[in-house]
Amino acid sequence: MIAIACDHGGYQLKLEVMKHLDARGIEYKDFGCDSEESVDYPEFAHKVGNAIVSGECELGILICGTGIGMSIAANKINGIRASVCNDCYTAELTREHNDANILAMGARVIGVGVALKVVDTFLDTPFSNDERHLRRIAQIERV
């Protein structure tokens, strides 16, 4: 199950992403928001982050204007590794190397076509499980 949420800046792109997930037969849970009316992104980032650390969902997608506010807010939650990826290369590498569990995208940064490719790359790329990456991820938690 994929957790997905956005703020007003990401609302239109979230609709496109959900349509794409429907077409691929991928199940998701939408944590809002539900319109282009202005909202505060941390609430939505925290909902998705909590759904992942609780085990309700495996991976998350967060969309705001830049992807940055959402990622900063989500990364405050222990066990969340949210990455802003507005291209396929970083989406692939953040799964392989960082075992990122949330993809954040900026609706004002990328178009729909690239965003859907980024979503596919993120969801379809497994973590490498390499010892060096496991070690580094464990070090992230030790602050």
Tell me how far, at minimum, the Cβ of 7 lies from ligand RB5, in Å: 5
Q: What are the residues whose beta carbons fall under 8 Å from the beta carbon of 130, sequence distance 6 or more?
A: none
Whole-number Å distance between alpha carbons of 40 and 62: 13
Q: What are the residues whose beta carbons fall under 8 Å from the beta carbon of 52, sequence distance 6 or more?
A: 3, 58, 59, 60, 79, 80, 101, 102
Which tokens hold the place of 66?
């830049």
Which of 63-71, 81-89, 94-102, 114-122 is the region at the interface with ligand RB5 (rule: CB under 6 A)? Answer: 63-71
Task: Among 64, 74, 82, 100, indicate the residue that binds ligand RB5 (CB under 6 A).
Answer: 64
Q: Decide if residue 65 touches ligand RB5 (CB under 6 A).
A: yes
Query: Is 97 among the residues known to form the active site?
Result: yes
Tell me how far, at minimum, the Cβ of 59 lies from ligand RB5, in Å: 20
Which tokens hold the place of 143?
């602050």
Residues found near ligand RB5 in the complex (CB under 6 A): 7, 9, 41, 64-66, 68-69
The catalytic site residues sit at 64, 97
